[in-house]
Structure 1
Amino acid sequence: MDIILTIASTVLEQLQKPTLAFLIAGMMLAALGSRFEVPEPVYKFIVILLLLKVGMSSGISISNSEFISLLVPAVGAAIVGIAIVLLGNRTLARWRGVSEVDGLATAGLFGAVSASTLAAGMAILDDTGVPYEGFIGALYPFMDISALVTAIAMAKVSAARRATSTVILSGNGTLAAGAPRTADAVPDDVGGSDLVRGILVDTFRSPAISALVAGLALGVLSEPDTVYKSFYEPLFRGLLSILMLIMGMEAWTRFAELRNVAHAYVLYGVTAPIIHGLMGFGVGLIAHELTGFSAGGVILLAVMAASSSDISGPPTIRGALPEANSSAYVGTSTGLGTPVAILSIPFFVALADMLI
């Protein structure tokens, strides 16, 4: 009974936080037929500011860390972020009735990191006296950006391949729509390395990823603290709330699409944090054996892997994959994934006590 009450109170706490609260408010506005709207140029400006801030915050954390001690866990964090998206592509994105782009967008958010969940993990370790490395916060962007870029690139590659399969060359040189794909009918580079390379280049050139990477580079290579603290940081939460309001209205208009596959997202949202956390824990153990990475560091790497993004992920996915259904990826991530991830923190602490 206590577990049920804990879960209920955690879910209620998440509903009251700005990210989910403004999303629900936007859905209510749409349900009531409100004509509220934010002009597209203003929306794009908000997204760019948000992602520049996230990138700079990550870059500042990296620049304040020792590179050598950071290297192994950082590589491990990036590998975990990519692996989570690949696993989501083989599971949720292949579920019957689930749109591939929606599945990959959801997996991208689950591969990215929730700063609030990581902060909760740090607070628990501080309260219990478990030490951890000071550079843990700098691992955030390695897992976060690798997961988001992987999800976006895979979704675009999939869309490009579907597009090429609808209009291809037939044997006599005429165009045939929807014809079966054969070795003679399809050019060598269709769906091959040239296509993938082009998609990757396009992904990094997209406004969302470009802003994120630019902010990261500014944080690492320059000293943007003054403008960061006086402009970007004070505006961040307010701009994020407007973005979530917009996404909530969009989510309501596409909510019906999820009616027949809601169980798939519920199952993924409940089980994925534990599985992903164990992946992060395993990589943390490897780093522990190779470099002496602390038990607290292993726990927090597991917490990062278990978490799902509520800040950097939604605007990045919305900017790069506007066709993805925000009801699916934001609802599953923030509504289910975050409470489960927070509740799983004591489990990873106990696991570390047993194994380290």
Structure 2
Amino acid sequence: MDILLTVADYFIAGLQKPTLAFLLGGMLIAALGSRLTIPEPVYKFIVIVLLLKIGLQGGMEIRNANLAALLLPAFFAVLIGVLIVLLGKYTLAKLPGVKETDALATAGLFGAVSASTFAAAMLHLDDIGMEYEAWVSALYPFMDIPALILAIVLGRLASDRQQATAEATADKPQKSGRKPISIKEIIIDSLQGSALTALLLGLLIGLFAKPEPVYASFYEPVFRGFLSILMLIMGIEAWQRLSELRRVAHWYVVYAIAAPIVHGAIGFGLGYLAHHLTGFSAGGTVLLAVMAASSSDISGPPTLRAGIPKANPSSYIGSSTSIGTPIAIAVCIPLFTELAKVVF
């Protein structure tokens, strides 16, 4: 009962936090019919800057980390991203009225990591004084990139199967010269996309160079401001997608409500296992759980738009931004924080 009361208190307080406030503010003004828009080039610039910042931070943290202590949590982060996509493939994609490509894009978005949710969790732990490893943010790309690439590979394969089935049903002659799908080409194409390229570039620069001066003078100061604008944009789009979500399978709503808690529980369980094996901290376990519970708001949407163009954004962005992100921030952060206090 105490945990439920704490979660309820944090949910109310969370509505006032900048991350969720800008998201809900964007949804509110869209609901009221505002014509406020953020130009597409501005949106793309903000996304690239935020991804470079995340990559730089992750690379610098890996460079300065105890690699032996980092190894197991990093492996678990990869495993979580892969498991979430596979869970979506064998649950959401099997439900009536759900297209496989849409389900895989949705699972990919939920398997990837939300920078805003992760930042909110770190600020929450700082506020309550729960310690965590300095390198935990380096786990971000280990979960994010495998989830997105696996979702794109499976989504492209599913799209090709759907096209082949449609051609066979329509009695269209099969193209004898049709080139078979190459998983290697899909992976290379995904890694060459602007979002993952920026994230990987930042990671490599942070790992092999010394970008601390530009990181401290530019990327760190603008992060929260740019993130608030991104949340406003996502809020406006979330409202538009929410109205469209009503026209697709209602299973997306059920999935978006349950997924953050289920995925977060998987992350918490593996983090607790890492605690017993390597001494991974309670705060680190909470952050791993929150990463698993979150759904990507920066790298995911543009990567999946380009990677699985036939997937319906109303399904994966609508379920993620409109439902998944508020639940991850307002419910999962306090839930797993309180759980850590009980079991550690």
2:180 matched residue in structure 1 = 190
Contact 2:69 2:278 in 1 (8 A): no
**For residues 314 and 324 of structure 1, do their structure 2 counterparts lie closer, same or farther at Cα, with a shift above 3 Å needed?**
same
For residues 137-169 of structure 1, give each alpha carbon's deviation from its aligned partner in whole angstroms, at most 9, with x where no partner exists. Answer: 4333312332233334433443344344444xx
Q: Distance in 2 between matches of 1:21 and 1:156?
A: 36
1:334 matched residue in structure 2 = 325
Structure 1 residue 123, shift from structure 2 partner: 4.6
- The secondary structure found in structure 1 opposite 2:207 is helix
CA RMSD of aligned residues (A): 3.5
Contact 2:55 2:202 in 1 (8 A): yes
1:279 matched residue in structure 2 = 266
- The secondary structure found in structure 2 opposite 1:254 is helix
2:309 matched residue in structure 1 = none
List runs of 5+ in structure 2 lacking aligned partners: 306-311
1:292 equivalenced with 2:278 (yes/no): yes
Deviates more, 1:100-109 or 1:231-240: 100-109
Contact 1:77 1:142 in 2 (8 A): yes
For residues 71-95 of structure 1, give each alpha carbon's deviation from its aligned partner in whole angstroms, at most 9, with x where no partner exists. Answer: 2221122112211221122223433
1:208 matched residue in structure 2 = 195
Identity %: 44
For residues 200-237 of structure 1, give each alpha carbon's deviation from its aligned partner in whole angstroms, at most 9, with x where no partner exists. Answer: 12111111111111111111111111111211222222
- Choose which of 116, 122, 126 in structure 1 pairs with 2:119: 116
**For residues 299 and 244 of structure 1, do their structure 2 counterparts lie closer, same or farther at Cα, with a shift above 3 Å needed?**
closer
Contact 2:58 2:135 in 1 (8 A): no
Q: Distance in 2 between matches of 1:275 and 1:255?
A: 22
1:173 matched residue in structure 2 = none
Contact 2:261 2:293 in 1 (8 A): no
Aligned pairs, how many?
332
**For residues 29 and 298 of structure 1, do their structure 2 counterparts lie closer, same or farther at Cα, with a shift above 3 Å needed?**
closer
**For residues 140 and 186 of structure 1, do their structure 2 counterparts lie closer, same or farther at Cα, with a shift above 3 Å needed?**
same
Structure 1 residue 249, shift from structure 2 partner: 2.8
2:11 matched residue in structure 1 = 11
Q: Distance in 1 between matches of 2:145 and 2:249?
A: 27
Q: Rg bigger for which structure?
A: 1
Q: TM-score, normalised by structure 2?
A: 0.80
Q: Distance in 2 between matches of 1:232 and 1:132?
A: 22
- The secondary structure found in structure 2 opposite 1:38 is coil
Q: Distance in 2 between matches of 1:96 and 1:292?
A: 43
**For residues 164 and 52 of structure 1, do their structure 2 counterparts lie closer, same or farther at Cα, with a shift above 3 Å needed?**
farther
Alignment of 1:171-320 (within 5 A): 178-179=170-171, 190-191=180-181, 194=182, 196-259=183-246, 264-284=251-271, 287=274, 291-294=277-280, 296=282, 299-300=285-286, 303-304=289-290, 306-309=292-295, 313-320=296-303
List runs of 5+ in structure 1 lacking aligned partners: 168-175
Give the letter for the 2:324 counterpart: S
Alignment of 1:15-34 (within 5 A): 15-34=15-34
Q: Distance in 1 between matches of 2:35 and 2:128?
A: 47
